[in-house]
Amino acid sequence: MSEKSFKVLLHEPFRLKLAESLLPRLKQMDPSAELEPVYKALVEPPNPDMGHLAFGCFIFAKVLKKSPAQVATDLKAQWQPVDGIASVEAAGPYLNFKFTSEFLAQHTVENVLNGSVFKTKLVAEPPKTMFEYSQPNTHKELHVGHMRNLCLGDSLVRLYRRTYGNDMVISTTFPGDVGTHVAKCLWYIENHVGMDVLDQKRKDPLKAEWLGQMYSAGNIKLEDEEKDPVKYEKNKAQLTEILKQLEAGSGKYFDLWKETREWSIDLMEQVYRWAGVEFDRWYWESEVDSASVKTVKKYFAEGKLIESQGAIGLDFSNENLGFCMLLKSDGTGLYATKDVELARRKFEDFKIEKSIYVVDMRQALHFKQVFRTLEVLGFEQAKNCYHLQYNFVELPDGAMSSRKGNIIPLTSLVNRMRDHVKTEYLARYSNEWPQPEIESVADVVAKGAIHYGMLRQDTNKKIVFDMNEWLKLDGESGPFIQYSYARINSLRKKFEAKGSFNGSLLTHPSEQKLMQHLMNFNTVIVNATENFKPSALCTYLYETAKKFNVFYHDCSIGNAETEELRQSRLALSAATGLILKEGLSLLGIPVPDRM
């Protein structure tokens, strides 16, 4: 994708240690050998029984004019013992290494418990990057589909902040507060609701949801009336009048827009607060709307755009992108016009080098045109603009549509999930736990279910929203991982963890596999960041929870042979808990203390 990328540091201390042990031996064979390629040639063997890390000998085979398998055999023959490495085996083109239990524990349990894993610097020279996500339209309903964008954008911002550093990542939103959808909503209120109902709605806490329903009703009504030529003309004239007033900034429709716009914004803020999302800057469609027309006229005057049949824009038809129209022949702007002005402001306001747009896949052509336009207009950052597309959210019985009336509004969805958690999981604690804790745990679990469900699927795949499935405690779900965390938390209390451990005692295969898995936390984060794939972190955390369960089953804490072994197992549990908590937080998911 983009040109300006970051440099991944050699951030895994255990890989570095192994690469450093290998380097002098490789240099004897090939004096030009260097550390970084050796580090990068270290991979995980497909089967953990083969070893903890493997070195692929391919990179030196060519220079040495030997087969990779021969290089592996030669290296093995010369191998001298190294602290922390328990065994070395040549297996085909690979050299397989096993670490000692002490070494594994040092790089997992110890470095997790002392927090260094969570602070390691992961990359160098990251470009200043902006994410734009969650761009709902005012006057429309917020539904479960919007959560995909919100969860994806939020998690990417969190992952990028961890990888790039907080100051290098800017989060923005761009709600659509003007346009035909607003006109349709106001049209319906004017013609089919009446001012007395509107007056009552002013006091209704659910007025924003109601507004969204008025938009849907308007949409359906207008569509139905299209067949009647008289009604069609009348409606068209009225919609034009509404849009005109909005643009002029005065008139009764403008006043109604201003008032109702706030209702939608209040609801958005409420949702963001609930989801733990904050934006550094809110850009509005209304703020770039008329400015964008001026900007485009200026570019045209400077000879940067062309005219075609009265319209102004750029012709990309020889690149299969068609004509990108920026001014219609009547002098009005379009969606792309606003995006050109928006991009210009983003570059200027924040001096960003890279700009990511989290927007659904239907807008792919639009963004291709906009990015090419920015390039022709001379913006250097155009090459580093990226449309992060994602697929739709459907219900088990098919696509959501306001016509079918099967849209699940966000607020009622969250309430339903909370209630489900309370009755299904938390009812048994009703006499034990204080009520506020029950409420808060139900809320935390609902968040876990939604975020994990929205993120576990790759962005190019459809998501089928299934509330019961997402809330399951025994399957791949957010609540399952939260539950694993809560169990670890209670273990530590039950057995009085002292935080001391002896890594050399953690020799059971289940302990080893868990530690080996924990070691890769930062690598998974960097990969998820680099590939815009929170789903990779989802999978990793699910695996972590499962490996923990196997360990907990195989290696008794209560019946550990010695107190020292018990404490070491508790320390491994605690480290697993911290990895789960930190990993979930990068997905935007909080954890409950108990569950």
Name the minimum Å distance from CB 49 to ligand ARG: 49
Name the minimum Å distance from CB 179 to ligand ARG: 8
Q: Rule CB under 6 A: is residue 171 a binding residue for ligand ARG? A: no
Q: Which is nearer to ligand ARG, 79 or 283 (CB)?
A: 283
Total of chain residues touching ligand ARG, rule CB under 6 A: 9
Q: Which stretch binds ligand ARG (CB under 6 A): 31-39, 86-94, 129-137, 538-546?
A: 129-137
According to CB under 6 A, which one of 342, 393, 441, 538 is a site residue for ligand ARG? Answer: 342
According to CB under 6 A, which one of 60, 174, 452, 521 is a site residue for ligand ARG? Answer: 174
Torsion of CA 9, 13, 15, 19, to 10 degrees: 90
Name the minimum Å distance from CB 360 to ligand ARG: 8
347 close to 131: Cβ distance less than 8 angstroms: no
Q: Which is nearer to ligand ARG, 158 or 181 (CB)?
A: 181
Q: Rule CB under 6 A: is residue 573 a binding residue for ligand ARG? A: no
Angle at Cα 479 formed by Cα 270 and Cα 150, nearest 5°?
35
According to CB under 6 A, which one of 111, 135, 457, 516 is a site residue for ligand ARG? Answer: 135
Name the minimum Å distance from CB 362 to ligand ARG: 8
- Cα–Cα distance for residue pair 179/184, rounded to 1 Å: 9
Name the minimum Å distance from CB 336 to ligand ARG: 9
According to CB under 6 A, which one of 126, 176, 212, 313 is a site residue for ligand ARG? Answer: 176
* Strands (E) located in 309-390: 311-316, 322-327, 354-358, 385-388
Name the minimum Å distance from CB 523 to ligand ARG: 32
**Binding to ligand ARG, residues 262-321 (CB under 6 A):** none
Interhelix angle 534-554/521-530, rounded to 10 degrees, is 160
Name the pairing type of β-strands 169-173 and 129-132. Answer: parallel
According to CB under 6 A, which one of 134, 137, 482, 484 is a site residue for ligand ARG? Answer: 137
195 sits in which H/E element: helix 195-201
171 close to 153: Cβ distance less than 8 angstroms: yes
Q: Which stretch binds ligand ARG (CB under 6 A): 131-139, 251-259, 433-441, 513-521?
A: 131-139
Q: Rule CB under 6 A: is residue 339 a binding residue for ligand ARG? A: yes
**Binding to ligand ARG, residues 434-473 (CB under 6 A):** none
Q: Which is nearer to ligand ARG, 345 or 383 (CB)?
A: 345
| Three-state secondary structure call for residue 203 | coil
**Binding to ligand ARG, residues 345-364 (CB under 6 A):** 357, 359
Name the minimum Å distance from CB 583 to ligand ARG: 29
Interhelix angle 521-530/146-164, rounded to 10 degrees, is 120
- Cα–Cα distance for residue pair 392/400, rounded to 1 Å: 10
Name the minimum Å distance from CB 175 to ligand ARG: 7
Residue (of 494, 512, 508) closest to 555 by Cα position: 508
Name the minimum Å distance from CB 357 to ligand ARG: 6
Q: Which is nearer to ligand ARG, 96 or 292 (CB)?
A: 292
10 Å Cβ neighbour count for 527? 15
- Cα–Cα distance for residue pair 428/407, rounded to 1 Å: 33
10 Å Cβ neighbour count for 196? 8
Residue (of 526, 504, 513) closest to 12 by Cα position: 526
- Cα–Cα distance for residue pair 588/98, rounded to 1 Å: 35
10 Å Cβ neighbour count for 312? 20
463 close to 454: Cβ distance less than 8 angstroms: yes
The full length of the chain comes to 595
Name the minimum Å distance from CB 342 to ligand ARG: 6
Q: Which is nearer to ligand ARG, 153 or 592 (CB)?
A: 153
Name the minimum Å distance from CB 305 to ligand ARG: 19
- Cα–Cα distance for residue pair 320/323, rounded to 1 Å: 9
Binding site for ligand ARG (CB under 6 A): 132, 135, 137, 174, 176, 339, 342, 357, 359
